[in-house]
Amino acid sequence: MTDPNKKLAERVFRRADEDAETARHGTHTPQTEDPAYRLAFQDLDFLLREDLRPVRFQLELLKPQLLLDEANIASMFVMYGSARIPEPDRAQAVLELAQDDTARRVAERLVAKSRYYDVARELARLASGYPRDEDGKRHFVVCSGGGPSIMEAANRGAADVGAESVGLNIVLPHEQAPNPYVTPSLSMQFHYFALRKMHFLLRARAVAVFPGGFGTFDESFELLTLIQTGKVERIPVLFYGREFWDRVVNLEALCEEGVISPRDLDLITWVETAEEGWQVVQDFWAEKQANGG
């Protein structure tokens, strides 16, 4: 009779890593050397087949999910913004190197926007000071796209106060590397844009959008669409740099043309400072909690 006070074996099958190790030291015959004999999960050629795209989707969704769970990250403060806006000192250097009027005008605009590097950095510092909950879960953990410029500023702000931060990088045709301020164990790389964007929003409880290009437009307007259509519960969506946004996109014209409702503009909160933005986020969630949300 078994002793009920003693645990039974937790598993009866060998672990996959044990079988994988055994497979590496097998006999060498024409059969075992052929790719067909490889374990499926060790066969990179097999995993990269066109037919296996659904499996790769699942893996790319699952790996970050597990890593963030293991890091006790319950919610994130996501920051979007340009990869081309340098910090103020570097922006000034770009201006000094401008060799013609066109380059000088562009550099002057970059200098004007470079202050948002400091704003993003300070906002990340503020968010990173949010305490863990009673279960030890972390909230408003700073998350960026892992790249340079505004993204770097976000991760750098977290590092300034000794906090970890997330970087969700993407494979691009030109070589790139995560910025040095992303926590290495929370630096993740994606092949699929769609799954990267999904992970930006699964845990997002606030989003800050700084001036940016196509990528920033893509991420921020998709978020607005998801909230507009009820696919995502409303969260604070902070837009920084109203002068920039009014210049590059006419949101009021969309209302005048009848393609969005005037109330859709209320999904955006315009802010300029880190303190103002962080206060908006705190007020939003305090009111939500007071109303039982």
267 alpha-carbon distance from chain centroid: 20
Q: Do the domain assignments include residue 8?
A: no
Which of the pair, 99 or 115, is modelled with greater confidence?
A: 115
Q: Give the residue numbers spanning the domain of 200.
A: 52-85+118-290
Per-residue confidence (pLDDT) for residue 107, from 0 to 100: 86
Averaged pLDDT for residues 133-160: 97
Count up the domains in the chain and report the number.
Answer: 1
Residue 189 DSSP symbol:
E
Q: Is the pLDDT of residue 170 over 70?
A: yes
Q: Do the domain assignments include residue 24?
A: no
Q: Do the domain assignments include residue 242?
A: yes
Averaged pLDDT for residues 94-121: 90
Q: Do the domain assignments include residue 14?
A: no
Q: Is the pLDDT of residue 102 over 80?
A: yes
Residue 292 DSSP symbol:
T
Residue 257 dihedral angles phi and psi, to the nearest 5° = -80, -10
Q: For a pLDDT cut of 70, what percent of the chain falls above it?
A: 98
Q: Which of 64-78, 81-95, 162-176 has the largest mean confidence?
A: 64-78
Q: For a pLDDT cut of 90, what percent of the chain falls above it?
A: 77
Q: Is the pLDDT of residue 8 over 80?
A: no
Of the listed ranges 6-20, 78-92, 239-253, the one predicted with least confidence = 6-20
Which CATH number belongs to the domain containing residue 159 in this structure?
Answer: 3.40.50.450
Q: Do the domain assignments include residue 271?
A: yes
> Is residue 216 a contact partner of residue 81, using CB atoms and an 8 Å limit?
yes
Per-residue confidence (pLDDT) for residue 2, from 0 to 100: 64
Per-residue confidence (pLDDT) for residue 204, from 0 to 100: 98
Q: Do the domain assignments include residue 107?
A: no
For the chain, give the mean pLDDT.
93
Would you call 22 helix, strand, or coil by DSSP?
helix
Region of residue 54 (phi > 0: left; psi between -120 and 50: alpha; otherwise: beta): alpha
pTM of the model: 0.92
Of the listed ranges 3-7, 128-132, 194-198, 207-211, the one predicted with least confidence = 3-7
Q: Do the domain assignments include residue 79?
A: yes
Q: How confident is the model at residue 251 (pLDDT cuts 50, 70, 90)?
A: very high
Q: Do the domain assignments include residue 257?
A: yes
Nearest to 275 by CA among 250, 249, 242, 238: 238
Residue 162 DSSP symbol:
T
Per-residue confidence (pLDDT) for residue 181, from 0 to 100: 98
Per-residue confidence (pLDDT) for residue 223, from 0 to 100: 98
Q: How confident is the model at residue 155 (pLDDT cuts 50, 70, 90)?
A: very high
Per-residue confidence (pLDDT) for residue 175, from 0 to 100: 65
